[in-house]
Amino acid sequence: MPVFERPEQPARDSTAAADSNISFPPVTRDHILHCSYDYWFPKYRASCIKSRILKLPPAVIEYIKEDGIMLSSDNDPTAEDDDDDWEPTSTAYSRPPPVVEEDSDEDEDEADAAAPKLPPNQRFPEFHQAIKDMIKELGGEVAPKLNWSSPKDAAWISPHQNTVKCTTPDDIYLLLKTSNFISHDLEHAFDGTIATASSPAPDSNAGLGFEPVLVLRSFFTPQTSMEFRCFVKQRSLIAITPRDPNYYEFLKKFRPAIIERIEDLFEKTLRFTFPDGNFCFDVYIPEERTEVQAAQDFTYDSDDDAGSENEDDPGLSLGRARLIDINPWAPRTDTLLFDWGELLDMHVPKPMIGVADTSGKIEDGVVRLHLGGESGASEDDLSTDEDDEDEDEDEDDFAPELRLVEKDDPSAYNFCSPAFSAHKLPKEVVDAGASGDSGMREFARQWREMEEGRR
């Protein structure tokens, strides 16, 4: 039986930036590259989920892009496969041999062109083994993603109850090959961007224009009500919105604590170290738990300061915010309860214009900003001594707006539109996934037979 997912609320104005009435600053290739997980994670890893990064060899990229599903042939039977009466595990997802007419040279040539391809464990054995090792290192359960996107739209095919949890390399391959989000990362990452001197557009024959990576993060089941998207304009945190479109009454009493936790992460970690002045970032604020519960539910990438900082905050048992992702200040980023028009129009007291020192170093308490490095910056944007006195009071009073779903918002109760419904497949496919590994193997076998004209 298919598992219902929480509804995905359409962005109030996700496409508003494309409207001619909205003047959106140019989005450069650098902006997109700065949001790649392998770019920012090494700098902020102490605030992130425990992760490991693998470079994707060309053979793996080709495998992800090619049609059809072929998984590895080295899986050992597990306890879950004891009732398997479909196919032997060793032949799962293997491509049947092509039928060749012995007396036809033309057919022989076609057969050679359609020769069976090797399974992943034979096509790229070192990469395959590296995934196995990292899954074990991360506790046996991981969530995969590429540079920017997670294959959440392919969770319907996962053998792990409609999640992106993976316990084997095959689980990862299946999600990557089925996800439209992953295809977008590999083929359309720089759509709508402009080239710059530091990041020119790649030659059509020069490959992807970036180094694709596979990110494996320790899998945990978050409390979706505590996931938030945050918007930064001119190095000021201006807006916060829940990522879950459902109504949660308890969030109202946590409002001050939520803002405090996010501001703390932003001020200490992101504000003066991320190269772009305008960007968005996603956080998760876990509930404070005992050490045993925390070890079971959530794994940090640093043992330092993994506990709560709220002992002096009675009644609000929230841990510190964890950085989940960074997104570009671009029309492609879903603004959820806001729209791009109002975010672009929001006034920022004493805006900071410039590009942060990419080294992230702070010398003598001073952060170095290189003026003029951001597109759209002008002299009018720079604050002067005359403005300082007038804006000091505004700056002290300025706080980001946390916009929560209201109880009377009809969209908060729209359970008829499951998330990523545009990426789902017919009931037969979902049923095959719900029946476990044996069902998916049988489905894949029948699919292959149909492709080869054997049915």
The candidate with the shortest Cα–Cα distance to 196, out of 271, 274, 276, is 276
Over the range 309-339, which residues count as b (16 or more CB within 10 Å of their CB) and which as e? ebeeeeeeebbbbbbbbbbbbbbbbbbbbbb
Residue 440 CA to residue 86 CA, distance in Å, equals: 10
Residue 108 CA to residue 100 CA, distance in Å, equals: 6
Both tokens of residue 164? 């992106």
Both tokens of residue 94? 């293997």
Bridge partners for 233 per DSSP: 236
Q: How far apart are the first and last CA of the chain?
A: 27
Query: Does an H or E element contain 328, and which?
Result: strand 322-328
Both tokens of residue 40? 């920012």
Length of the chain, in residues: 455
Both tokens of residue 154? 């392919």
Over its C-alpha atoms, the chain yields an Rg (Å, rounded) of 25
Q: Nearest-5° angle of CA 384, CA 387, CA 390?
A: 160
Residue 393 CA to residue 391 CA, distance in Å, equals: 5
| Residue pair 65/163 in contact by the 8 Å Cβ criterion | no
| Residue pair 86/437 in contact by the 8 Å Cβ criterion | no
Backbone phi, psi, residue 423, to 5°: -105, 5
Residue 37 CA to residue 146 CA, distance in Å, equals: 8
| Residue pair 201/29 in contact by the 8 Å Cβ criterion | yes
Mean pLDDT, consecutive 10-residue stretches, the chain (455 aa), reads 42 44 85 97 96 96 91 62 39 42 53 68 95 97 97 92 93 95 93 78 63 96 95 97 94 94 97 96 84 51 50 62 97 94 91 62 46 44 51 67 88 54 55 69 75 59
| Residue pair 243/229 in contact by the 8 Å Cβ criterion | yes
Bridge partners for 237 per DSSP: 232
Cα separation values, 71 from 63, 128, 297, 409, 455, Å:
10, 11, 30, 45, 22
- Whether pTM > 0.85 for this model: the answer is no
- Coil vs helix vs strand at 233: strand
What local confidence, expressed as pLDDT, does residue 391 receive?
53
Residue 392 CA to residue 205 CA, distance in Å, equals: 53
